[in-house]
Every structure is written in structure tokens, then in C-alpha cells.
Structure 1
Amino acid sequence: MNERLKLLRKALKLNQQEFADKIQVNRSTVAGYERGSTNLSERTITDICRVFYVNEDWLRAGEGDMFRARNTTNEELALQVGKLLKTDDEFTKNLFLEYLKLPPEMKTLFEDFVHNLAKSK
């Protein structure tokens, strides 16, 4: 698994520090994983697969493709809501809540506004 982890990091074009930051471990821990002197915990394997869309079968046993398909809309929504709940971004939380409370016709107007805003970039 240590060799596949190194292959993954290089495929992502990340140095050890950048990789470590994304999975919230120390750079020296990533170095230990890659050398094979430190075993990956179940939690770390889960984090790597979640953060980088890695196929867990590939990471563990070298089976299948390195990456899995990106999240479905529902999975992505769950992931983003989970991240939002961990922040103190009250504006975004309130915006999300107020949107969900809108009647259908107001949601349509809001969606049109957001699409037009995105096009104007």
C-alpha cells in the first residue's frame, strides 16, 4: 500500500506536505506511510479515499482503477453540508436555510438569478 500511496500523491502532483495538509496529518506521517514504516489507519484510508476520490480497492490491494467516479449529486450535497456544519459561516448556513423555505416559484426565480450570475463571470 505504501507504494500505491506514493503513486497516488505523484498522480495528484502534490508534495508530501500538500498531501498531508489535505488529509490533516503531519508531513512526517506521510513520509512514514510511503516508506512503509508507518501503517495507515482505517481512518486515514477512509480520509484518503474521500478527499481524493480514490478507489479503496485500488489503495488496499491494487485492484481496479486508482480513482473512483466523482460523487453523485446526493453524495456531493451530503459532503458539502457536512463541511458547512463544521464551519462558523453563518451567512451561508442562513442562505441555505432560507432557500429551502422558499415556495417553488421563488426557488425558480432564485435559480434563474444564480444561473445568470454565474454566466456573467
Structure 2
Amino acid sequence: MQSFAIGRLRDVTLGADIVAYLEHIDATLAPFGGEFIVHGGPVTVLEGAWEGDLVVIGFPSRAAAEGWYASPAYREIVGLRTRNAACDVILIDGVEDGHRATDVLARERAARSPAG
């Protein structure tokens, strides 16, 4: 199942550190099959409030996403970002082909059952 690293970046100081981070991140993704799905850009807020830039990186699996984030190559550059932006970063799995909205109800019921 595909997995995603999702980041929301705010208050980015676009200086030498962020430039170096951007110049090196692609090389850290390649060994894990990571690729940018969303990398900033204009947003249209339809509900609520939104602040910052959204970054979504797709990986072929959760193991690949975790491997990338923990890799020595990425650990070497992550501070360039974290010292220069407020960030929220998560890993989340995608859904199986054919997923329907009501599939989450079955998962919720299973989690609540005594055997779940």
C-alpha cells in the first residue's frame, strides 16, 4: 500500500539553509522510491483556515517512507528545514484500490468490538 509523508510548513525563512535542503532532498528520496506529489503552490480555501505550504511525498510503502525519514542522508539535511520553518510532518498510508467512504465504518466497528 502506498504511503505518504505530508508536511505543512509555515514561517519559512528562505535563506541558504532552505536552498541547500531543496538542492539535496531529491537525492534522499530516490533510494526509497519517493516522489513529490504536491510541493507548495497556491491553495483555494473552501472551509476553515489554511496557513502555510503543503508538501506531499509519495512512497511505495510505509516501510519505504519510514526508511527515508530515518535514513542517514535525510537525517543529515532535516535540520536545515527544521531550523528555518515551523513544520508539522506525518506519515499516513493511502487506501486500497476500490476504497469507498463507508469502508471506514467497518474499521471503526472492528476497533470497538471486544475481539478488535
Taking CA–CA contacts closer than 8 Å with sequence separation of 6 or more, which of the two structures ends up with the larger relative contact order? 2
TM-score by length of 1: 0.31
Q: By percentage of residues, which structure has more strand?
A: 2
Q: By percentage of residues, which structure has more helix?
A: 1
The structure with the largest alpha-carbon Rg is: 1
TM-score by length of 2: 0.32
